[in-house]
Amino acid sequence: MACPVSGKTASSNLDEKQELDIPVVIFETIADPVNLREISKEPIFLLGGQYAILIQFAHPGLAQGSAEHSDFAGRIMNRLKTTARFLSACVYGTPEEKAAIFSVIHRKHSSVKGEGYFADDPELHKWTAATLFMSLLVVHRAIFGEVPLERQEQLFRESAVYATSLRMPTEMWPKTLDDFWVYWNDGIANLPITPWAKSLCRDLMYPRNLPLLLRMNTPLIRLLTAHWLPERLRNEYGFEETPARRRAYGFWIAYIRIVYKSIPKPIRTISHGYYLKDMQDSAKRIQATGTWLKT
């Protein structure tokens, strides 16, 4: 996810401590994320992360802000951890944990601005939340099958929490799922893929400084992500959809589907406990020191 920009450096800890008591504005969301709590435990949905980010970068403000205010290429793992903390706080956090985690993200956003963009623009957060909702549907469709309409409605309403936590007023979220599709299809048809977005796409799809295991998986992630992207965005990002790649996608999705479903749920969701604990520990550090960085 692009919106929570890269974390602070150690030299900025003092500023964070001084700002710790500033009230954190979090708009009331539309629906308690009951379904999100269930679905977010499944690590397979992390496969949709790059899909969501590349579509976020279709919004010029998100792309330019990310390119100008963070070392995206060299700090992929840091950004993944930041995003995981944000998502965990949105879905599982207590009010105190949310206030702590969001205080760091909100303060960072307040300084991310330039000609034609501002990271606190609620329209950017609305688009970010839309991509996160869509990434759930795309991965669910690939691994488990189509999401029933009733559950789509529930997940759509609950996904507003990703935007309201970033200070999007509740009334900005589409009223119905039909309204959402109008909003989504318009964005996919008309948002430009800027040079900023193309540069960030290269950084994201060919990342540096990854642990060996993750680096070994990047070709597969590129294959899945490119296939899932809407056709116009896939073409503008420069991904060629060939018969060979379609066959490779079909093979790997069938393989992943069989292997993943064969793993008992208590085992395949073990990583959820790690991400949840990291968010909780980070919130405690913020409450004590004003920063989630370890000292």
DSSP letter for 31, please: S
Q: Are strands 117-118 and 113-114 parallel, antiparallel or unpaired?
A: antiparallel
How far apart CA 102 and CA 280 sit, in angstroms, is: 13
How far apart CA 161 and CA 158 sit, in angstroms, is: 6
Strand ranges inside the chain, DSSP E: 113-114, 117-118
Q: For 97-109, what is the mean pLDDT?
A: 88
pLDDT at position 64 is 85
Write out the two tokens for 40.
């977010």
Write out the two tokens for 275.
């991400």
- Which residues partner with 117 through β-bridges? 114
* pLDDT reading at 186 higher than 50: yes
* Residue environment code for 8-37, b if the CB has 16+ CB neighbours within 10 A, otherwise e: beeebeeebeeebeeebebbebbbebebbe
Pick 68 or 223 by higher pLDDT.
223
Burial classification of residue 256, based on how many CB atoms lie within 10 Å of its CB (0-12 exposed, 13-18 middle, 19 or more buried): middle
* Angle formed by the axes of helices 76-92 and 95-110, nearest 10°: 140
Confidence of residue 19 (pLDDT cuts 50, 70, 90): very low
Confidence of residue 107 (pLDDT cuts 50, 70, 90): confident
* pLDDT reading at 274 higher than 80: yes
Write out the two tokens for 166.
């970033």
Residues 34 and 41: beta-carbon distance below 8 Å: no
pLDDT at position 290 is 85
Q: For 125-139, what is the mean pLDDT?
A: 97
pLDDT at position 12 is 39
Residues 7 and 107: beta-carbon distance below 8 Å: no
How far apart CA 61 and CA 79 sit, in angstroms, is: 18
pLDDT at position 25 is 64
| Percent above pLDDT 70 for the chain | 88
Long-range contacts of 15-20 (CB under 8 A, 24+ apart): 15/107, 16/104, 16/107, 16/286, 16/289, 16/290, 16/291, 17/289, 17/290, 17/291, 18/290, 19/103, 19/107, 19/290, 20/103, 20/286, 20/290
229-269 pLDDT, tens digit each: 999 999 999 999 999 999 999 999 999 999 999 999 999 99
Q: For 163-182, what is the mean pLDDT?
A: 95
pLDDT at position 106 is 82
**pTM for the full predicted model:** 0.88
pLDDT at position 79 is 77
* pLDDT reading at 122 higher than 80: yes
77-86, 148-157, 234-243: least confidently modelled range: 77-86
Q: For 266-288, what is the mean pLDDT?
A: 94
Burial classification of residue 251, based on how many CB atoms lie within 10 Å of its CB (0-12 exposed, 13-18 middle, 19 or more buried): exposed
**CA end-to-end span of the chain:** 26
Calculate the average pLDDT of the chain.
87
Confidence of residue 214 (pLDDT cuts 50, 70, 90): confident
Q: For 99-103, what is the mean pLDDT?
A: 91
Pick 288 or 20 by higher pLDDT.
288
CA-wise closest residue to 164 among 248, 98, 249, 215 = 98
Element (H, E) at 282: helix 270-289
Write out the two tokens for 83.
């995003």
Confidence of residue 13 (pLDDT cuts 50, 70, 90): very low
pLDDT at position 118 is 74
* pLDDT reading at 6 higher than 50: no
pLDDT at position 67 is 78
